[in-house]
Every structure is written in C-alpha cells, then in structure tokens.
C-alpha cells in the first residue's frame, strides 16, 4: 500500500519534470528564454564540435597510416598511385553523393546565415568529414582547419533545428559552431574567434561574441583533453638582433604579398577553368591532381599533406634557403591543383606552409649573408606564416593575433605588424576581391564582402543635415505668444526646445487647434518628444529613428540645447543618391 501512495504523491512532480523536459526538447522553453539559453547552448556546441574534430583528426591519421604506411617517406609506387586512386574515389563520392562537400567549407558556412537561414544539411557534414579525411590522409595538398570549421557549423545548425530556435538565432548558430570547429582544429581559441568575427559574421555584438567565445573555449578544452595541449609548433625564442632587421621583415612582407597574389590568381584561374570542362571530367580531376602531387612528392615529400612537421623543421633552420623558396613555389602549385580539382579540404594549412617556407628562406638567406649575426630563423618563419595569412585570406587582425597566440611572445608584434600590413596592402592593391569572396562568386553566390563593407565610406548625419531651422519654439513661452509666432511663420512643423536639452515636435494645425488657456507655457501642453541626433551619427542610425517625423534635431554632444541643424528623410535619401549608395531599410519605429 505504501508504494502506490508514494507513486501518487510523486506524480505531480514527475509530470512537471517531464513537461519541462518535453518543452526543452520541443523548443517551447527556448521561446521565452532563448537569449540566456543561447549562451549555454554555445558551450554544448563547443563540446560536440571538439569531439567531432578529435574524431576527424584521428580519421585523417588513420587514413594516412592505412594508405601510405608508417614510413616518413613512402615507397615510389605508393606515393604516386595512392593520391591518384583515392582522388578517383573522392570524386565519385563528391559528384554522386556529397556535391556540397567540395571546397574548403568557409564559403558554405558563411552562406548559411545569409542565404539558408543557418541551415547546413547533415549529409554535407558527413560528406565533408569522409572526403576531407580521405583527401588529407592521402596527402593531397590541403589542410584540416577549414573542413573542421564547416563540421562544427553543421553540428551547430543541427542542434539549433532540433531545439527549434528562432530564425534569427539559427542564422547566428552556424558561426558559433564554426568558431568551435576551427578552434579545436587549430588549438587556438583567440584565432578562431577573430577569424569568424572578421570573415564570417563581420560584426561585433555582445550576444554573438559571448557565444562564439564560449564555444571556442569549450571545444579547445575537449580537444586538449583527448589530444593533449602540445602546440602545433615548437616555437623558438625570439629577440630583435638589430633594428635594421626590420627591413628584412619589410622585404618578407613584399615577397609574401606577391606570393599571395600568385596563389590567389592561380586558383582564380584554374578553378573556373576546371568547372567549365565536360561533366565526365569531374570524376578524374582529383585523381589527376593527386597524380601530379604524388609525382612531386617523389623528390619533395614536404609538399604533400598539411605539412605541419616540415613547418616546424623550417622554424629550426633545418633546410637551406634555396630549398625553402622552392618548397613554397611547389606548395602554391600543388595546393592550387588540389583545391581547383574540387577535392574537399582547406586552405589554412597550405597558407601557413607557404608563409613558413618563405619566411624561413629569408631568415636563412640573411644568415648566409651575415654569418656573424644570430639571425632568428624561426621568427622569420613564424612571421611569414602570418604574412601569407594576411595576404591570401585577407584577415589581417586574425593574422596578427594568431602569431601572438602561437608564439606567446609580444616582442614579435612589431615585425608581425610590419610584414602583415605590407602583404595585405599589396594583395588589396592588385587583387581587389578577397579569395573567399572570389570563390563564392565563382559558385554563383552573392555573399556580402566583409572586407568591402569595412572599406565603404560611412555616411554620417553631418553629411545630410540642413542648416538650423528658423521654426524653433521655446517650451517656456506662453501659448498666446506661440500662436502669434506660428501665424507669422510659413512652416508646417515646429521644433520645441524643452527643459534639460530635450526637444519636442508639433504641427501648425495641432498648435492652432489646442483648446487650452493661452497663459500656460507651451511645454505643459505639447507632447511627442523627438529623438536627438549628433553630427557623427551614421545615417542608417538616423533612418531607424526618424520614423514618421518630418525632421529631427541635430544637437551638440556637449550641449543638447545647441541646435546645429535638422535632418529630414529627403535629405538622407538625397545624400545616399549623391554617392550612389543603396538606401538602407528602416523599420519606421520612433
């Protein structure tokens, strides 16, 4: 008799528990508390993405051991035939089963919030995992970071759909997963956060930044739990030998800038050319690329795969400078062939490889010229990695902090900034379209170019405001005097200066129709406080405020009672038309 009684007493609690759990799973709970829940969800996204990237890394290493064996230098037939044969298998998988898995994954992730409301298909994630693991494991000249980014974004999109998040949150959840995937693959949370903000999201806000940071940190914790916290490279100690050495870093920026152009131009030419070939050739392009890369690998195995071990060797001066420059050129060729053939894989690792070889080559060359100097070759290789990152991927802020995060040495920041800035400006001057924007436009996707948006001239209120309006009334004047002023004025709308620098607005008709005692101040009967604008406010901010008002006051920041001018909707539109810009939409809310 006790057990049924206990069951009856626990029934309301049990029902409440299951109702809460059911509402959580169906998304009803999220509707009310989505803002807070989103940050908690970001942590779980990071955990799942970290686990997925760990599995991805294991799959890559397992594929390499199975396909090429444990030898550091595989035998001649295997090093040529394996990339070719696996390339054929990858082509079949991509063309027949996973067509959205081709490419690096950055563009697809960026397109998710802008085109597909945050949707990334599950089969795309599965296909990217399998084909990229096979491609990188068979030592195609590609890297794991970009696919990891898309895998994380895909998992986040899946969780968001299952929890039935709002459309606005679904649009933001893919970048959250992208940061988690990239952070785990690169073992660098700060780099991942900055890249996603700089390249994928393009805007800073407390909500999205907090979620991205939480997901990146939790994914790195998971990755380090399973794979250890050892850094990708053994970073040598850096110190500036002589101030004149900064000239060498400037030269590195120039060479890195033109190397970046060569890489982007080659991919920009080969990729559309390959896509224009007959459809049946798509089955053979990855195999041909693998055959060429394998043939190069007979003499230069450093070019095959991601090449992290060889980057580490370049940092420690284990190659002559001529070989380093040769490896950089061969890597540009090999990566362009692999990527343009449609083989899934990333550009991060090849970019870093090219930069490490060029930077190390300059350092070794300087050492040969000045043998008496203790030239820090590792520092040149490290700065070269950031230089090519800034020149090819056009994410200058990410490139600087990436080197700082990897090296942990803030004394290297001056060479990094000098070299990165030169490479970035050379790349921008000659190649107007960044590589990821170029790739998306080749695929017929009109995604916003965040770099182009950053370079747009910001139109401000001072560009569109008109001189101070004569139709200004004082809220302290008596209503009788105000009516006299209104009758003598030709204006239909009047600004009313209130106490404490506030401003109100009233029409001629409303003033004349007021049925109040003429001996009361205007401030006691007028209503409708106007939003205040300042000359440095962006025009799109003004559009959000103007609503149905015919004009808004533009006041001094230090003295709200000092009216500098007025802003009208006609003036805003006229200013946008003068510069040929698109007029942003506004919601009409006051």
Report if residue 148 sits inside a domain.
Answer: yes
b/e burial code for range 304-327 (CB count within 10 A of at least 16 → b): bbbbbebbbbbbebebebebbbbb
Number of structural domains found in the chain: 3
Q: Which helix (H) or strand (E) holds 35?
A: helix 28-68
- Residues 212, 151 contacting (CB under 8 angstroms): no
Q: Would you list the DSSP string of 394-407?
A: --HHHHHHHHHHHH
pLDDT of residue 5: 42
pLDDT tens digits, the chain, 590 residues: what are they? 334 444 334 454 445 444 443 443 444 444 446 677 888 999 999 999 999 999 999 999 999 999 988 776 777 788 899 999 999 999 999 999 999 888 888 988 888 888 888 899 999 999 999 999 999 999 999 999 999 999 999 999 999 999 888 888 888 899 999 999 999 998 889 999 999 988 888 766 666 888 999 999 999 999 999 988 777 777 777 777 677 788 999 999 999 999 999 999 999 999 999 999 998 999 999 999 999 999 999 999 999 999 999 999 998 889 999 999 999 999 999 999 999 999 999 999 999 999 999 999 999 998 888 777 777 888 899 999 999 999 999 988 899 999 888 887 788 889 999 999 999 999 999 998 899 989 998 888 877 777 777 777 788 999 999 887 667 888 888 888 888 888 878 788 888 888 878 898 888 888 877 766 778 888 888 877 899 899 999 988 888 888 778 889 999 999 888 999 999 988 888 888 887 655 565 444 33
Whether residues 411 and 432 share a domain: the answer is: yes
**Could you give the CA distance from residue 220 to residue 585 in angstroms, rounded to a whole number?**
40
Whether residues 58 and 126 share a domain: the answer is: yes
pLDDT of residue 97: 93
What are the respective helix, strand and coil percentages of the chain, to the nearest 5?
70, 5, 25
pLDDT of residue 281: 92
Whether residues 316 and 219 share a domain: the answer is: no
Report if residue 236 sits inside a domain.
Answer: no
Report if residue 10 sits inside a domain.
Answer: no
Query: pTM for the full model?
Result: 0.83
**Could you give the CA distance from residue 394 to residue 386 in angstroms, rounded to a whole number?**
11
Report if residue 8 sits inside a domain.
Answer: no
The CATH number assigned to the domain holding 495 equals 3.10.580.10
Structure token pair of residue 27? 């998304």
Whether residues 537 and 433 share a domain: the answer is: no
Secondary structure (3-state) at 452: helix
- The domain in which residue 266 lies consists of 245-451
Structure token pair of residue 64? 């390499």
Report if residue 378 sits inside a domain.
Answer: yes
Whether residues 107 and 45 share a domain: the answer is: yes
Whether residues 151 and 258 share a domain: the answer is: no
Residue with tokens 């230090």: 558
pLDDT of residue 72: 67
Residue ending a domain, choose from 194, 227, 260? 227
**Could you give the CA distance from residue 3 to residue 518 in angstroms, rounded to a whole number?**
82
Q: Which helix (H) or strand (E) holds 552?
A: strand 551-555
**Could you give the CA distance from residue 448 to residue 361 in angstroms, rounded to a whole number?**
37
- Residues 412, 383 contacting (CB under 8 angstroms): yes
Report if residue 118 sits inside a domain.
Answer: yes
Structure token pair of residue 119? 């949707």
Residue ending a domain, choose from 420, 451, 482? 451
Whether residues 303 and 204 share a domain: the answer is: no
Whether residues 466 and 415 share a domain: the answer is: no
Whether residues 98 and 124 share a domain: the answer is: yes
Whether residues 259 and 365 share a domain: the answer is: yes
Report if residue 36 sits inside a domain.
Answer: yes
Q: Burial-class residue 38 by CB neighbours within 10 Å (0-12, 13-18, 19+).
A: buried
**Could you give the CA distance from residue 548 to residue 434 in angstroms, rounded to a whole number?**
40
In DSSP terms, 501 is beta-bridged to none
Q: Would you list the DSSP string of 121-144?
A: -HHHHHHHHHHHHHHHHTT-S-BS
**Could you give the CA distance from residue 123 to residue 116 in angstroms, rounded to a whole number?**
15
Q: Beta 503-507 vs 551-555: how paired, if at all?
A: unpaired
- Residues 39, 211 contacting (CB under 8 angstroms): yes
pLDDT of residue 60: 96
**Could you give the CA distance from residue 464 to residue 575 in angstroms, rounded to a whole number?**
6
**Residue 413 Cα to chain centre, angstroms:** 22
Whether residues 310 and 397 share a domain: the answer is: yes
Whether residues 204 and 264 share a domain: the answer is: no
Helix boundaries (H) for 196-241: 206-227
The CATH number assigned to the domain holding 53 equals 1.10.3080.10
b/e burial code for range 449-459 (CB count within 10 A of at least 16 → b): bbbeeeeeeeb
Strand extents, DSSP E, 384-532 = 472-474, 493-497, 503-507
Report if residue 168 sits inside a domain.
Answer: yes
DSSP state, 314?
Answer: H
Residue ending a domain, choose from 193, 227, 261? 227
- CA atoms within a 13 Å half-sphere pointing along the CA-CB vector of 114: 15
Nearest to 377 by CA among 232, 235, 256: 235
**Could you give the CA distance from residue 141 to residue 343 in angstroms, rounded to a whole number?**
10
* Strands lying side by side in the sheet with 472-474: 472-474, 493-497, 503-507
Q: Would you list the DSSP string of 2-31?
A: HHHHHHHHHHHHHHHHHHHHHHHHHTHHHH
Q: Would you list the DSSP string of 420-446?
A: HHHHHHHHHHH--S-HHHHHHHHTT--
């Amino acid at each position: 008799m006790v057990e049924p009684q206990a069951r009856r007493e626990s029934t309301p609690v049990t029902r409440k528990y299951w109702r809460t759990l059911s509402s959580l799973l169906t998304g009803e709970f999220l509707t009310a508390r989505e803002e807070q829940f989103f940050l908690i969800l970001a942590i779980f996204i990071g955990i799942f993405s970290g686990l997925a990237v760990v599995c991805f890394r294991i799959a890559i290493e397992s594929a390499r051991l199975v396909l090429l064996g444990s030898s550091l230098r595989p035998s001649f037939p295997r090093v040529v035939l394996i990339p070719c044969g696996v390339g054929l298998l990858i082509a079949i998988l991509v063309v027949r089963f996973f067509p959205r898995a081709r490419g690096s994954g950055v563009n697809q992730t960026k397109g998710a919030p802008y085109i597909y409301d945050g949707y990334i298909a599950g089969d795309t994630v599965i296909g990217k995992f399998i084909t990229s693991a096979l491609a990188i494991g068979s030592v195609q000249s590609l890297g794991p970071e970009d696919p990891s980014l898309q895998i994380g974004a895909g998992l986040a999109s899946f969780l968001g759909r299952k929890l039935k998040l709002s459309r606005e949150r679904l649009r933001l959840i893919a970048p959250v997963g992208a940061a988690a995937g990239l952070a785990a693959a690169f073992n660098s949370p700060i780099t991942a956060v900055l890249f996603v903000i700089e390249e994928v999201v393009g805007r800073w806000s407390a909500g999205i930044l907090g979620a991205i940071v939480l997901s990146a940190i939790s994914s790195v914790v998971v990755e380090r739990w399973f794979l250890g916290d050892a850094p990708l490279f053994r970073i040598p100690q850096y110190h500036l030998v002589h101030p004149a050495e900064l000239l060498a870093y400037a030269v590195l920026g120039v060479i890195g800038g033109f190397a970046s152009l060569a890489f982007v131009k080659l991919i920009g030419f080969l990729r559309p050319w390959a896509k224009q070939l007959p459809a049946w050739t798509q089955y053979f392009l990855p195999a041909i690329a693998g055959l060429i890369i394998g043939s190069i690998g007979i003499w230069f195995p450093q070019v095959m795969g991601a090449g992290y071990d060889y980057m580490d060797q370049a940092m420690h001066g284990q190659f002559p400078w001529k070989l380093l420059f040769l490896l950089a050129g061969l890597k540009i060729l090999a990566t362009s062939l692999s990527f343009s053939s449609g083989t899934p894989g990333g550009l991060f690792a090849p970019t870093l490889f090219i930069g490490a070889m060029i930077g190390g080559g300059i350092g070794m060359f300087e050492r040969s010229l000045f043998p008496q100097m203790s030239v820090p070759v590792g520092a040149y290789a490290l700065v070269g990695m950031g230089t090519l990152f800034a020149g090819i991927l056009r994410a200058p802020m990410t490139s600087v902090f990436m080197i700082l995060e990897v090296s942990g040495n803030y004394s290297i920041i001056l060479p990094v900034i000098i070299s990165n800035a030169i490479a970035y400006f050379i790349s921008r001057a000659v190649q107007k379209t960044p590589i990821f924007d170029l790739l998306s436009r080749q695929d017929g996707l009109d995604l916003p170019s965040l770099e182009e948006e950053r370079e747009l001239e910001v139109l401000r209120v001072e560009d569109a405001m008109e001189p101070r309006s004569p139709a200004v009334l004082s809220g302290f004047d008596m209503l009788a005097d105000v009516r006299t002023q209104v009758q003598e004025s030709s204006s239909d709308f009047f600004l009313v200066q209130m106490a404490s620098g506030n401003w109100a607005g009233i029409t001629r008709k409303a003033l004349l129709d007021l049925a109040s005692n003429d001996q009361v101040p205007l401030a006691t009967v007028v209503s409708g406080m106007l939003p205040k604008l300042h000359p440095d406010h962006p025009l799109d901010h003004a559009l959000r405020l103007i609503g149905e008002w015919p004009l808004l006051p533009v006041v001094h920041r230090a003295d709200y009672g000092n009216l500098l001018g007025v802003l009208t909707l006609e003036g805003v539109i006229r200013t946008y038309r003068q510069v040929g810009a698109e007029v942003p939409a506004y919601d009409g809310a006051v």
